[in-house]
Amino acid sequence: MRNMLKAWFRRPAHRAERPSAKPTILSVLAMASVAGFVAVPLAGPSSTIASAAWLGPEANSSVSFLVTGQSSGLTREEFTVVGGYLMAPAAGRPDPGTAQALALDLVSARGWDDGEFNCLVALWSKESGWNHFAMNRSSGAYGIPQALPGEKMASAGADWATNPATQIVWGLGYIDARYGTPCEAWGHSQRKNWY
């Protein structure tokens, strides 16, 4: 490969050359990239293509697809594109009795699907690591949903400072009222670094 590149760079620029019938490495890579960008939005949830298309921030659609890497060593993860942004990986099923298990039940009760749960897990993992005692030292935001101020969560229960269930109930209500869905909140967080 190195010799091929050296030979290509040594060619005089002024000399007209016959087009080669063999595709160059760069042309093959370019074609593969274009194919990936075109195929991913069309492929649907069972795709094995390991790239994502940029839909643009004004896009109001959602596309889910799986990324697998049988020969590349990638692990299988599900991603979602919402509003043009690559969204959260699949969270899987949480352990029973955990805050995430409670959140899954509450997300399902609201009629939101697994994709919305994935976004919620990613959002609150970023915000607090699902620690119900998490406090942002600079802003004072508190709890799993990082309410600012934390006392806002008292509207969901007097035990807001110590009970993850109260925090989750409040947090889901906040997301519903302000963004409509966890994926919309996650998309906002990805763009602005806050929600």
The first and second tokens of residue 116, run together, are: 């919305």
The first and second tokens of residue 87, run together, are: 């969204």
Q: What's the pLDDT at 91? A: 87
What residue spans define the domains of the chain?
A: 2-86, 99-192
- Residue from 180, 192, 155, 186 nearest 81 by CA: 186
Written as tens digits, the pLDDT of the chain (195 aa) is: 555 545 544 555 454 445 554 556 555 555 555 454 444 444 433 333 333 333 334 344 444 444 333 333 333 444 445 455 456 888 889 999 999 999 999 999 999 999 999 999 999 999 999 999 999 999 999 999 999 999 999 999 999 999 999 999 999 999 999 999 999 999 999 999 999
